[in-house]
Every structure is written in structure tokens, then in C-alpha cells.
Amino acid sequence: MKQLTINPLKFRMNKAFAVLLATLVFNAPHLILAQTAEEEIVTLSEYVVETSDDKGYGVAHSIGTTRTNTRLIDIPQTISVITDEFIEDTGAVNYIDAAEYMSGISRQVIEDRFLIRGRSASGTFTDGIPDYNDSEHGTNPVLYQRVEFLKGPSAIVYGSHSSGGIVNRVRKAPQFVAAASVSGSIGSHDWYGFDADITGPLGKHFAYRVIGSFLDHKGDHPSFFRERKGVFPMLTWTPSDKTIVRFVGEFTSDERWWYKGHHMVLRDENGRFSSDSQTTEKVLGWTWSAAPSTTNYENDKEAYRISWEQQIGDNLRFNAVLNRRTWIHDRPELVPRGINSDNETVNRLFRNILREDTSVTQALDISYKFEAGPTKHRLLAILQYVRRDFFDLWYQNSFIDGTAQINIFDPISTYEFELFADGDPFLSRNRQTENDTFNISFQDEIKMFDERLIVVGGARYDSFDRRFDDFLRVGEETADSGDQWTYKAGVVGKIRDDISIYFNFAQTFSPNFSFQPDGTPLKPLIGEVNEIGIKTALWEGAVNLQLAFYDLVDKNISGPHPNPDLSAAGWRAQSDHRSMEGVEIDMNLVLFNNWRIMTSGHFISVDQSNNRVQRSWPKQKYGFFTRYDFTSGPLDGLQIGGGGFYTGSIPGDGGNSFFYGRYWHFDALVRYRLNEHTSFTLNVTNVANERYFNRGINRNIIIVNDPRFVKFKATYTW
């Protein structure tokens, strides 16, 4: 095993792709006109989601828990979906901004990191393949046609993850019909952006797509400071009507201000921290942070994917995928160590975190359809192998005693200091982890009684190995392994073709690589859900409703042993469990074909010994958004819309020692379509300019929301 040595890693986009993007933007009309009128090959893909039946903000199909293109109403699981149209209408920069309107989803600490049903959404996938770490820097929504939130366990298809659910992003794909779109945007707080999306045929058997994006946003608010750019080339080859080969490349670079210690809880008159203590909301400005803007951090990603989808006969289809992804993270940060008893000064620690995460995924999905008497079956078999290498280096200065203080009332004069004045930086962490995961799963979808009853069941076996090396500690090398079975069973009963009721039982797990002092391994964390619900797609999808009631249970939660002597010796107990019951509703309406409305809401109750709620998770949340299109008269071409969401009080830390207050957030939209090619859009987020806290890590690191933001965007399509 080689040891990684990382200099401050700064890789940029491949210049060849930047040149390619510029060439396509300025020559796209000529490229499109030069295409021949040859007969197109029309292929129907089971592994590409169908969107032609979508209405407004509602969707008709998902690749969801079946990993194949399936009607949403036929899936026995709660799935919330946000479309590219909804992301565009809300003016979202990262898709968490749009997902805040959905039920059962909440923003976690940074960027596109989610809580789903009160559990961290540790599983992030792109087109069904693991795609880790994008959540650190915020995923560019221009790349995706939709984002699916699969709520509850989905281990049969997606492997180990938290019990709350997973996020699956669905990429846009090359089209055999020529089309192009370019847009430029300007906004408040020094916002400048440019996007280009060009697709079309290259002869009879090939289609391409190139998406490029650039964003420069260096306003005075901590979360506004960023520069993001990316190029995404894609190619589809259809040598026959039964074969589809796809290539996808992804090159992104993102630089941001890491706004650690944005706000904090102050001490009360007795010098104690409590939920009643005054917070800096009352004494500090919106743009205050414990770190200056010089502590920028970078995330760079490079990914390649090739897939081969093959139809064999009328009933057998397979999809083979090879995906390689590298993520590089360079994060200098000033970490607040807590406010002092004077309620004025804060100690800080400087460190530089360098990480490299590389994964290679090989997957084979096999779908086979057959009939047995009065029943129709669709068998799904998945084999997947993932190799992941993770390097983690921390450089730290010698201020470990808490020097480099800052005065919260006079931060400018105390922001800067000589980082390594007391000597050279030293390496405080140097670790490498290697993970190998192999799994195989089977699932059968059975339709009977003229497809009025659908039964889904399956099982999955996962085997995992890990090797961990700590190069700063001699002999600190561990290797461990394990395996786990998980199961799923679901039923869909269709009252009509557009109304269904469903029941779902599903499991997931998270590997536990810890051991008891005697060498006995701890059991994996098991998550289980029992849920029932109703779904509708009335009036050809004009009324999409999803109502769910669920009971989510986590088992084998590890904690200190109740015997203090055993606990002191390192023993752990896994007898605890936590349970949560919840209700969720999502509804999308399309009225008169030009008025779309979405509403959502969730409520939870917690059943566990300490009655604690996950940090950053509100027990209540409600949202709505609407858009009305004028289609005649003097206002023809005008679209107006807006919405808001309400969030109840939110625990500020894992111990629920303090809470953020409830709040409302409102956004507005005005768009004018000058003609079929040109449109102008005005988005205003946080219209009321309300100031609230919506996430954090502990009482020393609390993040305030963004102030009012105005963005104007011009788009030209052809």
C-alpha cells in the first residue's frame, strides 16, 4: 500500500474540454444544420427514466427502487422527485434549495447534504451508481433532468445506507433530435453565471450532448463566496435497435469560503450554555464569520462512465456499467473552539484538510420478463463491485493551545494572523482506508389480476472488507470484514389505473467495523421501515398525490456500556434502538394546463428513551409553490409564481440542548417568453429578507440563512 503525499491540490478543468465547449457554443447552429436527414434509430431504454408523461412539477415514472423505468404509481415505496423545471422555477443554485419544498427532506450542515426522515442521507447515487462526496461542494443542477429521493431503506437495489433513504440523481442524456440552449445570468451580491447545453445526432447511430457551466459569486455573505465551473461531455451509440452504449465524462472545480463558526450560542448570566442563552443573532451582523474569506477551500471532481445496454429477444435485457470517480478536497479552515466567559472572544484553531477519494464501480443489472399462468413477472438481478480508496491528511499549526483569538465585536482587526508563526505546520493526521464491497441481489415484481395487484419482494447479500492504516501511529493498521443480508417486501393494490394503495417493508444496514475489547465484532446498524400510503395520477397525471404513514426503526445502535467498569475498559452496548413515526404528503396539480401547484408537509413523533431528535431535523415542515402561465391576450408569454415553506423548531445539536426557532421562507418568480426561442427570468429568494438559523454542528458552529437574493437570467434555445 502506498502512502499518499499531497501538496495543496489544485487541478483545473481540462483545457481541451473548455475549447470544445466554446467551439460548440459558437458553432452549434452550423453543426445542427449540417446534420443529415437520415432515418433515426428509435430505442426504448429500460434504464433511462421516461419524462414524456410528466405534468407540471409532477412525474409519472422513476427508476427508483426497481432500477428500471417504472410508473411511480406502481412502486411500493415513497419517492419524492424534483424536476429540472422545478429547480429552474425556484432559482435553486444547488438542488437542496429546491428540495427544501419537499416533505421529509431537510438541509443538513453544508450544501447538498440532506436529512431524509431525520436520518443523514449518506447514500448519494447518479443513475443508480454510487457517487460519493459531491455533497461537500454542492452539485450543479444543470447536469440533471431530475433528482429522486427514495425514502426509507432501499438496500435491495442500492446497498448499505442510512435508514432515512438515498438520493439518486438522473442525468440528462444525448438526444437524436438537435437542440441547444445557452443562458447568462447576473444577480445581487456579485453574481455572474453562464450555462450551455447542446445536443443532437452525429449521423445515424451517434448522438452527443455537451453541458458547460460557470458561476462566479463573490458577495459579502459567507455562503455567497464561490467560483464553480464544469464541463460534461456525453455520447450515445446505437449500433442497432437493441443496443445502446453510453459514455459520460464529468469535470468540475468548485472554490468556496468555508464559513465555519458563523454564529454561536452565548453564555447566560451564570456563565452557562443553555437553550435560554442569548445567541449572536441579536448582536452580530448577517455577514459575520469566525474565519476570513482567505480560508477558501476547493473541491475538484473527475469522473468517467461507460454503460452498455443490450436487449436479447423480447424479454431479456441487461445493463453493464463501469464508473470511475476521483474527488479531491483541499480545505484550509479556522475552527472556533468556543466563546470565552467574557462573551466577546473566541479561540480558534487553524488546520488544512487534504483529501482524495477514488472509487471504481462495476455493475451488472439484468431484467427478465415472463408470464406464468395469470401472473406477469419482472425479475431484476444486480451484481456490483465497488473499490474505494480514501486518503485523509490534516496539517495543523502549533496553536493547539487556542491562540489566534477573535473578538466577535471587532473581527476585522483580529481576523488575520501569521498562521505558522510558532513554527512549521505539522502533520496531525495521515490515514488511508481501502474498502471493497461485493453484492448480489434479486427482486421479483409480480403483476396479477389484470395488473391490479403488484407484489414486490427480494433479498440482497453484501460482503465488505476494509483495511485501515494510520501512518502516524506505528503498528496502527487494522483489517476487518463482514457480510449482511437485507430483505424487502411490498404490495401495490390499484383501485383504478390512476389510484393505488401500497405497503412497504424494507431493510438497510451500515457496516460497523468496531470491535469489543475481546475481539468480538459489533453488529451492523440495521434500519427497518413499515409504511403504508396512497398514490394518484388522476386526469392523465394532472393530480399527483402521495400520502404516506411510516414507522422507522434503527437497531443495534452502539453506545457506552451501562456498566461503568466495562465502559471504562472500552466495551460497547448495542441494546438501544430508536423509533420514529411520521406522516408525509406531496401533491402536484396542473389546472387548465397553465397553472401548476405543489404542496407538501410532514410531521413526526419520536419514540425513544431520551426523546431526542436528529440535529437539524424539524418535527414539522410545510411547503407550497405555484406558477401561472398567461397564454393569451396582452400578457401572453408571461409566467408568474412563487412559494414558501415553514419549518418548525430545529435541534441545534445532537443532545438537543438548544433549538433554532421556527421560520417561514418565501421565493418569487417572474418569467417572460418573448418567443419560442428567448425568455427572461427574474428570481427573488428570501423575498422578505428574513434572518434565521437553519442548520449547524454544535453551539459553536451555527449557520445563518442567506439574505435576499435577486437573479436575472436570459435564455436562448434553438
Q: Is 498 helix (H, G, I), strand (E, B) or coil?
A: coil
Cβ contact 151:117 at 8 Å: yes
Per-residue b/e over 669-680, b at no fewer than 16 CB within 10 Å?
A: bebbbeeeeebe
Most confident of the following: 7-11, 48-52, 271-275, 379-383: 379-383
User: Given a cut of 80, is residue 54 above it in pLDDT?
Assistant: yes
Of the listed ranges 154-158, 209-213, 221-225, 706-710, the one predicted with least confidence: 221-225
Q: How far apart are CA 344 and CA 326, in angstroms?
A: 42
Quick: pLDDT tens for 222-274. 777 788 899 999 999 999 999 999 999 999 998 887 777 778 888 777 777 77
Of the listed ranges 195-209, 539-553, 563-577, the one predicted with least confidence: 563-577
What is the identity of the amino acid at 477? Answer: E
pLDDT given for residue 422 in this prediction: 52
Q: How far apart are CA 72 and CA 87, in angstroms?
A: 20
658: number of Cβ within 10 Å: 20
Question: Taking residues 141-145, what's their average pLDDT?
Answer: 87
Q: Which residue has the cell 462512465?
A: 305
Torsion of CA 228, 11, 697, 561, to 10 degrees: 150
Cβ contact 576:557 at 8 Å: yes
Of 269, 400, 420, 272, nearest to 347 by C-alpha is 400
Q: Which residue has the cell 464569520?
A: 289
Residue of higher predicted confidence among 126 and 459: 459
User: Given a cut of 70, is residue 182 above it in pLDDT?
Assistant: yes
Q: How far apart are CA 144 and CA 133, in angstroms?
A: 17
Percentage of residues in the chain with pLDDT exceeding 70?
86
Residue 56 region by backbone torsions, left for phi larger than 0, else alpha for psi between -120 and 50, else beta: left
Of 307, 412, 297, nearest to 350 by C-alpha is 297
User: Given a cut of 60, is residue 70 above it in pLDDT?
Assistant: yes
Which helix (H) or strand (E) segment holds residue 24: the answer is helix 15-33
Residue of higher predicted confidence among 141 and 109: 141
Q: How confident is the model at residue 670 (pLDDT cuts 50, 70, 90)?
A: very high
User: Given a cut of 70, is residue 646 above it in pLDDT?
Assistant: yes
pLDDT given for residue 25 in this prediction: 41
Question: What are the angstrom distances between the C-alpha of 710 and each of 79, 429, 499, 667?
Answer: 31, 42, 41, 10
User: Given a cut of 60, is residue 9 above it in pLDDT?
Assistant: no
Percentage of residues in the chain with pLDDT exceeding 90?
45
pLDDT given for residue 214 in this prediction: 94
Q: Rounded to the nearest 5 degrees, what angle is found at the Cα of 205, between the Cα atoms of 203 and 209?
A: 75
**Backbone phi and psi for residue 553, each to the nearest 5 degrees, phi listed first:** -125, 135
pLDDT given for residue 186 in this prediction: 96
Which helix (H) or strand (E) segment holds residue 193: the answer is strand 191-201
Q: How far apart are CA 421 and CA 423, in angstroms?
A: 6
**Length of the chain in residues, anyone?**
718
Q: How confident is the model at residue 14 (pLDDT cuts 50, 70, 90)?
A: very low
Report the relative pairing of strands 165-171 and 123-126 from DSSP bridges.
parallel
pLDDT given for residue 397 in this prediction: 66
User: Given a cut of 90, is residue 382 above it in pLDDT?
Assistant: yes
Cβ contact 576:612 at 8 Å: no
Cβ contact 57:596 at 8 Å: yes
pLDDT given for residue 498 in this prediction: 93
Question: Taking residues 478-485, what's their average pLDDT?
Answer: 85
Q: How confident is the model at residue 339 (pLDDT cuts 50, 70, 90)?
A: confident
**CA-based diameter of the chain, in Å?**
81
Average pLDDT, the chain: 84
Of 595, 594, 617, 590, nearest to 606 by C-alpha is 617
- Who's near 121: CB < 8 A, 6+ residues apart? 108, 113, 114, 115, 149, 161, 162, 164, 165, 166, 167
Instruction: Name the grid cell of 344.
Output: 466577546
Q: How confident is the model at residue 567 (pLDDT cuts 50, 70, 90)?
A: confident
User: Given a cut of 60, is residue 419 above it in pLDDT?
Assistant: no
Question: Taking residues 337-351, what's their average pLDDT?
Answer: 82
Q: How confident is the model at residue 525 (pLDDT cuts 50, 70, 90)?
A: confident
Instruction: Name the grid cell of 476.
Output: 496502527
User: What are all long-range contacts of 192-198, with beta carbons under 8 Å and residues at least 24 apart?
Assistant: 192/216, 192/217, 193/217, 193/713, 195/142, 196/21, 196/24, 196/25, 197/142, 197/172, 198/24, 198/25, 198/28, 198/31
Of the listed ranges 22-26, 221-225, 281-285, 414-418, the one predicted with least confidence: 22-26
pLDDT given for residue 137 in this prediction: 53
Question: Taking residues 400-427, what's their average pLDDT?
Answer: 65
Instruction: Name the grid cell of 56.
Output: 407540471
User: Given a cut of 60, is residue 486 above it in pLDDT?
Assistant: yes
User: Given a cut of 90, is residue 461 above it in pLDDT?
Assistant: yes
User: Given a cut of 80, is residue 127 above it in pLDDT?
Assistant: yes
User: Given a cut of 80, is residue 559 above it in pLDDT?
Assistant: no
pLDDT given for residue 18 in this prediction: 43
pLDDT given for residue 95 in this prediction: 80
pLDDT given for residue 610 in this prediction: 62
**Backbone phi and psi for residue 281, each to the nearest 5 degrees, phi listed first:** -55, -30
Quick: pLDDT tens for 109-120. 766 678 898 887
Q: State the distance between the two ends of the chain, measured CA to CA, in whole angstroms.
A: 52
User: Given a cut of 90, is residue 679 above it in pLDDT?
Assistant: yes
Name 685's bridge partners. Answer: 667, 709
Q: How confident is the model at residue 703 (pLDDT cuts 50, 70, 90)?
A: confident
pLDDT given for residue 361 in this prediction: 95
